Amino acid sequence: MTAEGMDTQEKIVRLEEQSWFQERLLSQLNEALTLQQKQLDAAERRIALLEARVRELLLSAPQDAPENALPPHHMPERY
């Protein structure tokens, strides 16, 4: 083989190695992204449940009670 042929062969080997490492990295990134999407989906479901619960609690709260009112045991005694 000539020196020129060897250089071409070495370049092909290097390109194949780079391709293999890039494919491996791409696979790892895909796995990480898939895991993060699953975590995001789960967080969104929990937030939706919490929002529903807050709405439920707000609707079930007595409407005639003044906001920020002190409970009776905190009220100063009046004479």
- pLDDT score, position 30: 98
Tokens of 7: 């250089």
Answer yes or no: is 28 within a domain.
Answer: yes
Answer whether residue 5 is part of any domain.
no
**Residue 30 placed within a domain:** yes
Asked if the structure places residue 69 within a domain, the reply is: no
pLDDT along the chain (79 residues), means of 10: 75 96 98 98 98 93 69 66
Q: Is 74 a domain residue?
A: no
Residue 61's SS3 state is coil
Q: Contact at 8 Å (CB) between 10 and 18?
A: no
Domain range holding 25? 14-58
Residue 79 is predicted with a pLDDT of 46
Number of domains comprising the chain: 1
What pLDDT is recorded for position 63? 72
C-alpha span between 63 and 78 (Å, rounded):
26
In this structure, which amino acid lies at residue 22?
A: Q
Task: Assess if residue 1 is contained within a domain.
Answer: no
Helix-then-strand count for the chain, H and E: 1, 0
Q: What is the pLDDT of residue 18?
A: 97
Residue 29 counted as domain residue: yes
- Answer yes or no: is 47 within a domain: yes
> Does this model's pTM top 0.75?
no
Residue 67 φ/ψ, nearest 5 degrees = -70, 145
